[in-house]
Amino acid sequence: QVQLVESGGGSVQAGGSRRLSCADSGRTFSSYYMGWFRQAPGKEREFVAAISSTGFSTDYSTSVKGRFTISRDNAKNTLYLQMNSLKPEDTAVYYCAAGVSILTLIRRSVNYWGQGTQVTVSS
């Protein structure tokens, strides 16, 4: 069983940075590919970034590539999203997710979701 809990959300000014964390209390974290998604008010949930189970492969949406970095620490059962150069359009609820491949995560085929954490970027 995978139980994902996000943390690190909050308010930040444009141009600032924020790091999100996603902790799994289960025992199978290292076997899953992991991803971050976000959902802004009135919009669909969108893919942000994904990482392979080993951490060797990553993928990003074009809107965050070069600004956000996804990483994981399998010893700590924790996923991270380092967000730099934040923009007001990055304002959303951010969700972590577990899946079976980067491609299926990009297609929003997710096995487990976290509850989300709000990030608000002010101009």
Question: What does the pLDDT read at residue 51?
Answer: 98
Give the model confidence (pLDDT) of 4-40 as tens digits.
999 999 999 999 999 999 999 888 999 999 999 999 9
Nearest-5° angle of CA 91, CA 69, CA 46? 45
Contacts of 66 (CB under 8 A, 6+ apart): none
Mean pLDDT computed over every residue of the chain: 96
The DSSP symbol for 14 reads T
Confidence of residue 1 (pLDDT cuts 50, 70, 90): confident
Q: How many residues does the chain have?
A: 123
Are the CB atoms for 105 and 96 separated by under 8 Å? no
